Each structure stands twice: as C-alpha cells, then as structure tokens.
Amino acid sequence: MKDIGLVGVPFSGKSTLFTALTRTGGHGGQANHAIVSVPDPRVAVLTEMERSRKTVHAQVGFVDVPGGTASAQGIAKLREADALAIVVRCFGPDAQPASEVAEVRAELLLADQAVIEPALEKAEKRAKGKPTPEVEALAAANAALQAELPLSDAGLSEEHRRELKPIAPLTIKPSIVVANLEEGTDVPEGLPEGTVGVYASIEAETAEMDAEEARALLDEFGVHEPGLETVIRAGYRAIDLITFLTTGDDETRAWEVRSGAKAPEAASVIHTDLERGFIRAEVISYDELVAAGSMDAAKQAGKVRVEGKDYEVREGDILHVRFAV
C-alpha cells in the first residue's frame, strides 16, 4: 500500500479534499491518515465470473497534516509518504493556483535544505576527509538544492538515492498537482502538465451519504468521475505503479506493483515465499479472460500462457503463480 501526502498553502482546501477522497472527517491540530480501497470495476467482474467467496481491492492511504510544511510534525509525516499531492485553490476571484504551486515547491525545497546541509556536515566529519558514498550523495543533493533544483530533477544516481533514503527528502518524491475547482469550471491554464481537477467542496458534502445517494448528487452537479479515482490514477502514474490481479473460487484480489516488475517480483507482493520458490506464472490478460467467459474456458482455448522469471508483468494481467519452497 502506498501513502499520498496532501500539501498546500493555507485555504487551498486540502483538508476538504481529504474529506472528499476518504469520506471521513479529519481532526484539527493533528495528522489525519485514512486508508481507502482503490476503485477497480475489474475486481467485481472477476468475482462474479469466478464466483469468488472473497473480494479484496488494492488500497491507498491519504495523509493530511496540520500546518503542512510550516510545522515539524507536518514535515515528518510528509516524509513518510510515497508521493505528494500539491493542492491549489482554483476558486474565488483572487485565486492564483500557479503561484501556489511555486510557493509549495519552494517550501519543500527549503525543508530539504534544512536536513541535507547538517547531514552533510556530520557525514564529512565522520569521513575525516575521505570520499564515501554517503558524503558524495549528500554533497550532490546539497548542490542541487543550493541551485534551487528539486532532487527529482537533479539526475541523482540510484546509489545516491539509496544513500538519501533514510532522510526521505521531500523534493525527490513523485508529485502531482490537484486543482481544487468550483462547480462548472475546468483546470485553468498555467498549471503543470498532468494536473488533475477535483470538485472537493461538492464531493465533501457527499461524505456521509451512501454510495447511490452520493453518485446521484454528483451527477446533478456534472461530476461524472469521483475525485478519488482521478487522484489515485494520477498518483499511480507518478509513483509508476500498475495493477495485476489474482482470481479463483476462494478470492479475487487486486495488487499493486512497480511498472516494469518481473513475475517473481510481482509474486513477492502476494507472499515472499512465492518469490523465493518461484517456478513459473500462468498469465492471461483481463480482457482475454472476460472474452473467454471463465478461467476454465480460457485454458481450454489455449489463452493462458506460461511465463518464466523474465516475464514483465503488464497492467491488468491475471497471474497464477506456481512455486515450491
């Protein structure tokens, strides 16, 4: 499961967005964390097709922190997140969303400088003038930050990134921009490519409604895709995640794995024993399985492939892992 931290300037509506996305009310003055199921209609289709006794969706967590980058608690919680969602206000005559994006990014950069500089000084003292991987990584990061360059754009090597992982820099995390819109408006020009729009205020009003009532109200306002789906899809793209599935009479389940993962790595997401004892994976795409009508029919039609350790898992693959421990 991945966590997405919400960050924004005061009155951007990030706490309202938290309520809209999680359908829970936050508590003021403290960090709020809520876990939600990732909407995926494929899970319900497979559950019915295979008559699974249990259905499990992938999950994602959202974090809303008091004070954001202005508080030590907020920064600490944001460092624990896997990605950041920069929330900007796009309602009211004085809205300046592009300026808000720049302001938040500047604050994130300053927050990283505040930990990288002293960490570099301490590392240099420990190294006593000798080059070490830790010193090299911190020096590269410090140079980028001094040049006002976020670490995600600094061209850091994988080794540098590993060395920096304990510090969890904010500007190295994947990020998306969420435009907090008012009714009847679209994402304004001037925001970064990939910005997604959410009608947070409208959706927050549906937080205590059941699903059908909420859907009916949102349809009246012309909101045809819930903000949760919009933000999760953008978050998955930023983190570079894909979804694969498993299905059978016992359980249908959605799993997340990094894009480009080989079959044994995907197997480890299910259980570490499956990676350790991986033999092969029986694979079929979701569309192929639905077209066949059932797993048995798909096997009889020769649609289920046998793949080895070098197979790169694709979005929507359905896996059955064969293993021996």
- Going from N- to C-terminal start, the domains of the chain cover 260-323
Mean pLDDT, rounded, for 273-282: 96
Identify the residue with better confidence: 217 or 95.
95
Mean pLDDT, rounded, for 266-271: 96
Say what the pLDDT of residue 202 is.
Answer: 86
Say what the pLDDT of residue 214 is.
Answer: 75
pLDDT digits (tens, 9 = 90+) for 14-47: 999 999 999 886 666 678 899 999 999 999 999 9
- Where b means 16+ CB within 10 Å and e means fewer, 110-135 reads ebbbebbeebbeebbeeeeeeeeebb
Say what the pLDDT of residue 325 is.
Answer: 76
DSSP-assigned states of every residue in 222-246: T--S-HHHHHHHHHHHHHTEEEEEE
Mean pLDDT, rounded, for 172-193: 94
The answer to whether residues 37 and 14 touch, using CB atoms and an 8 Å cutoff, is no
Mean pLDDT, rounded, for 252-281: 96
CATH class of 260-323: alpha beta
* Beta-strand pair 251-258/54-56: parallel
* Mean pLDDT estimate for the chain: 93
Say what the pLDDT of residue 74 is.
Answer: 83
Say what the pLDDT of residue 27 is.
Answer: 63
Say what the pLDDT of residue 60 is.
Answer: 96
* Residue 187 reports pLDDT greater than 90: yes
Helices (H), the chain: 14-22, 41-50, 72-80, 97-127, 133-146, 158-164, 200-204, 211-220, 227-239, 263-270, 272-276, 286-292, 295-300
* Residue 9 reports pLDDT greater than 90: yes
| pTM recorded for the entire structure | 0.91
